[in-house]
Structure 1
Amino acid sequence: MTTSAHRPASPAALAHRGFSREGAENTLDAFRAARDIGYEWIETDVNTTSDGVVLCFHDGTLDRVTGTTGSVSAMTWERISCERVAGVCGIPRLGDLLTQFPELKFNIDVKDEASVAALPRLLHELGATDRVRVTSFSESRRRRTLRRLRELTGEPVPTSSGKEGMRLLLACSWLGGPSWRIARRLAARWIEPFDTVQIPRRHRVRGGAELELVTPRFLDFAHRHGIAVHVWTVNETAEMAELLELGVDGIVTDRADLLAGLLEQRGQWPPPRV
């Protein structure tokens, strides 16, 4: 295997929605379990209620994880607080997460329109902007959230790319040369700068074939331009090991236990600041 010359001394390990083998994702129990294994970074998602409460919750509706129906954005916090994820755990407010786990950092995916305004306000009120990385699949939401955060704090916030930024970086890695410098300048109005790209290893294209995205060429290109590469969502130990040997900067996983065990074998666990 051809590998990147880049070798992070301590790859970022991100517990995807915390850690729960029982399906209780994005719950205080799941975040606590990841913390207890030694995780510093938690990947989570936010949706906001009709009365402006920012929740750690992936979907726009309750259906998949609670067994009930309804849109998060159409319900009050009082109504949603009665629901249970996987039948056992309540849906946490992001504010509770930030205050109960002051030692943790959070990679936050902005899932809905209401969070564009509510999330920056909450992070500013709690003084938590130095503990987060903000991202979104929607470049529009990512851009507006980051700009509002800068208005409130006057400081830049670490961020990973949205879908459009990821695609632009991939295209430029194939083109090579000065393509990224030119593309970044031309796209500056629509794509907010980013220091990290979070990307799947492969992408399924029409006809069922899979296109390899995380290649030595792509990694070298991203690293030359100061961009870290995190790969999601990797749940098999063998694939985690392959990606670490390839030179990725971080892995997002549902199997926080397996990734921690592998990094411990490599002498890279726990993270330096834990």
Structure 2
Amino acid sequence: MNASSAERHPYLSPHAPRVLAHRGLVTPDAARHGVVENSFAAVAEAHAAGVVYVESDCHVTADGEVVLFHDDDLERIAEDPRAIADVRLHELEEIMSARGGLITLAQALEAFPDMRFNLDVKAAAAAEGVGRLVAPHAERVLVTSFSDARRREALRAASSAGAARRPATSPGLETVKRLVIARALRRKARVRALLADVDALQLPERQGPLRVVTSGLLRDAHAAGVEVHVWTVNAEDDMERLLDLGVDGLVTDRADVALAKVNARGTQAV
């Protein structure tokens, strides 16, 4: 529970606007050299730029390895129709070798010990593996998923694997919908209950015509000790406007740009 900032999860300490590199950082120059999102090179580029937080996604290969990958297949990245779940680790390593290199979750946690990872469990089969792997690193990991069931399964797996504390967490789509409805109906006790076991709300600014991120939402979240991170924010004027509104984090493909804007305000994005 996050009743006050004094109980803030270590993942979110110290408190400042946070820049979360969306699937790592692929600069225009890196893209020209074939580097793609969620590759080892993309995470390394974010690290080199001074970014502390990397937002990524987790799937599992045919031989059970948890990898950082957004899509459930290789079509967009490699024009290969196969699902990640049908490809073995060595095959995926070969495919990614010219695209910045494959990075597994285990490699990410080991190779970048001073980075914090925001992990979206994309596949049900990945939940147990994600929880087991992050258990020794729970203070620097946030687990989320569009599916609350997958998110909770990963958190349970982390606990079962001996995590000293649970990883930070952000709710799934169903919980967010309930929160929006509870706020619209002014059910304050229900809002507090929905925010009681999460550390951050990670949301788009709008969902269709509905504005999701508002000053009222920020007030309610902050009163519960919960941060608000907005995705995916790439336009510079949107970055400035949302920082002015008081959001706690920007999930962005342009982490280097966002970091410069945060630091220019005299705050440290960690």
What TM-score, normalized to structure 1?
0.85
1:98 aligns with 2:109: yes
Look up the match of 1:47: 59
Amino acid at match of 1:194: V
Alignment of structure 1 residues 38-117 onto 2, 5 Å: 38-84=50-96, 87-117=98-128
1:156 aligns with 2:162: no
Look up the match of 1:175: 185
Following TM superposition, the consecutive aligned residue runs of length 4 or more in structure 1 with deviations greater than 3 angstroms are 181-184
Matched position secondary structure for 1:82 = helix
Change (3 A) 1:252 1:270: closer
Contact 1:105/1:132 (8 A) holds in 2: yes
Question: 1:52 Cα deviation (Å)?
Answer: 0.9
Distance in 2 (CA, whole Å) between partners of 1:201 and 1:76 is 37
Question: 1:73 Cα deviation (Å)?
Answer: 0.7
Which structure's residues are more often helix, by fraction? 2
1:11 aligns with 2:21: no
Change (3 A) 1:183 1:129: closer
Question: 1:175 Cα deviation (Å)?
Answer: 2.2
1:35 aligns with 2:47: yes
Question: 1:264 Cα deviation (Å)?
Answer: 2.1
What root-mean-square deviation, in Å, do the aligned CA atoms of Structure 1 and Structure 2 show?
2.0
What TM-score, normalized to structure 2?
0.86
Contact 1:81/1:91 (8 A) holds in 2: yes
1:229 aligns with 2:235: no
- Unaligned residue ranges in structure 2 (runs of 5+): 1-13
Amino acid at match of 1:61: D
Distance in 1 (CA, whole Å) between partners of 2:152 and 2:196 is 6
Q: Deviations over 1:222-244 (max 9, x none)?
A: 21222211000000111111111
Contact 2:192/2:224 (8 A) holds in 1: no
Amino acid at match of 1:138: S
Aligned length: 250
Identity among equivalent pairs (%): 36
Matched position secondary structure for 1:251 = strand
Matched position secondary structure for 2:230 = strand
